[in-house]
Amino acid sequence: MIHLRYRTVELKLNHTFRLSRGATDGRQNLIVEIEHEGIIGLGEAAPISHYDQDCASAADAVDAMVRRLDDPRCFDSAAQRVAVPGQPAAEAAVDMALRDLAGKRLGVPLYELMGLDPGVMPVTSFTIGLDRPEAVARKVREASAFPVLKVKMGSDDDRPILEAVRRATNRPIRVDANEGWSFDEALSRLEWLQEMGVELVEQPLPAGRLEESRELRHASPLPIIADESVHTAADIPRLAGAFDGINIKLMKCGGIGEALRMIAVARAHGMKVMLGCMIESSLAITAAAHLAPLCDYADLDGHLLIKEDPFVGATVDKGRLVLPKGPGLGVVSR
């Protein structure tokens, strides 16, 4: 017998978070518990409103998925078989709950179940949202413990913002435009970004402009990473040649199983892999972090941007993710 419980949680941010298409002070996420034979697996959905999802639609999808589950021990095939189209955040929550359940049943951490080395972890970047240059500089100083910064861009203040960051620190910078530039704007910025010590640029152009992205990548002195252009493994072959790498987010792709397939397909096309996130608690961040040994870059800081994290999971030591040693995801409630 499978028992399902879920609830919404309000995650309030330390600062208003702005990017090129809007701003938010918090997020409502859905926490999922799947119980089988007395063991509880935990999952989290961070529905993406940009893709017409919310907690209500995620809850309906989770209900439908769990009703169709036969044997939760077959976690990989089960999660794929019962997936609800258009609800990848809900799929991710069910997928991670089933994998948490499996690890707890076997008494091993998820990384061990996947045969991965938790000691081989990339440094995670810390995200600085769009703001006034003086506010951005203050946030950079507050993030002094993090060796790599990710700066949101895509506004008329791009140059003064990055100049303010550079005056405040000499740390490596990654830039995320969130589809905020035209081709000409991107082309004019890339050389200057390289001179400012930027390592890479995420999604400079709108997702639909693939041929322009291909032309831009050919001219770019910096690696270009796809974010909004890539959701699942099926998207990756057409992106080869237009991007140097992909950003995988569990909430976009539908969970750890699909993320593993994306990593394999990206590697087959010679592309780099970044592991990203939405605004999430330590529950979903830790689930993603179990995949981090397979990736080149990590941007798993969603739990660091919120005021009160309802869970304890992966920690950060000198910018590097440290996985918990408990079974399954290793995440516990506060």
Q: What are phi and psi of 264, to 5 degrees?
A: -65, -45
pTM recorded for the entire structure: 0.94
- The phi, psi pair for 56, rounded to 5°, reads -65, -45
CATH number at residue 37: 3.30.390.10
Which phi and psi (to 5°) does residue 311 adopt?
-130, 160
The CA dihedral of 229, 235, 125, 304, to the nearest 10 degrees, is: 90
Same domain, 193 and 86: no
The neighbour count for residue 76, using CB atoms within 10 Å, is 15
**Pairing relationship of beta strands 22-36 and 2-19 according to DSSP bridges:** antiparallel
Write the CA distances from 12 to 15, 141, 289, integer angstroms.
9, 21, 22
Same domain, 60 and 206: no
Per-residue pLDDT of the chain (334 residues; tens, 9 = 90+): 899 999 999 999 987 777 666 678 889 999 999 999 999 999 999 999 888 899 999 999 999 999 888 888 877 776 667 788 999 999 999 999 999 999 999 999 999 999 999 999 999 999 998 888 999 999 999 899 899 999 999 888 899 999 999 999 999 999 999 999 999 999 999 999 999 999 999 999 999 999 999 999 999 999 999 999 999 999 999 999 999 999 999 999 999 999 999 999 999 999 999 999 999 999 999 999 999 999 999 999 999 999 999 999 999 998 999 999 999 999 999 8
Residue 18 and residue 37 share a domain = yes
Judge if 123 and 17 occupy the same domain.
no
Q: Of 110, 142, 165, which residue constitutes the final position of a domain?
A: 110
How many separate domains does the chain show?
2
Say whether both 148 and 268 belong to one domain. yes
CB 262 within 8 A of CB 84: no
Domain identity same for 77 and 207: no
Last residue of a domain, one of 49, 75, 110: 110
Do 177 and 286 lie in a common domain?
yes
The three-state (H, E, C) secondary structure of the chain, written as one string = CEEEEEEEEEEEEEEEEEECCEEEEEEEEEEEEEEECCEEEEEEECCCHHHCCCHHHHHHHHHHHHHCCCCCCCHHHHHHHCCCCCCHHHHHHHHHHHHHHHHHHHCCEHHHHCCCCCCCCCEECEEECCCCHHHHHHHHHHCCCCCCEEEECCCCCHHHHHHHHHHHCCCCEEEECCCCCCHHHHHHHHHHHHHCCEEEEECCCCCCCHHHHHHHHHHCCCCEEECCCCCCHHHHHHHECCECEEEECHHHHCCHHHHHHHHHHHHHCCCEEEECCCCCCHHHHHHHHCCHHHCCEECCCHHHHECCCCEECCEEECCEEECCCCCECCCEEC
**Domain containing 162 — which CATH number?**
3.20.20.120
Tell whether 129 and 29 lie within a shared domain. no
Question: Are 156 and 290 contained in the same domain?
Answer: yes
Tell me what pLDDT residue 15 has: 79
Do 122 and 239 reside in the same domain of the chain?
Answer: yes
Last residue of a domain, one of 77, 110, 143: 110
pLDDT for residue 19: 66
Distance, in Å, from the CA atom of 69 to the CA atom of 64, rounded to the nearest integer, reads: 9
User: Which domain range does residue 236 map to?
Assistant: 113-333
Statement to judge: residues 91 and 226 lie in one domain: no
Token pair for residue 47?
């529905």
249 plus 290 within the same structural domain: yes
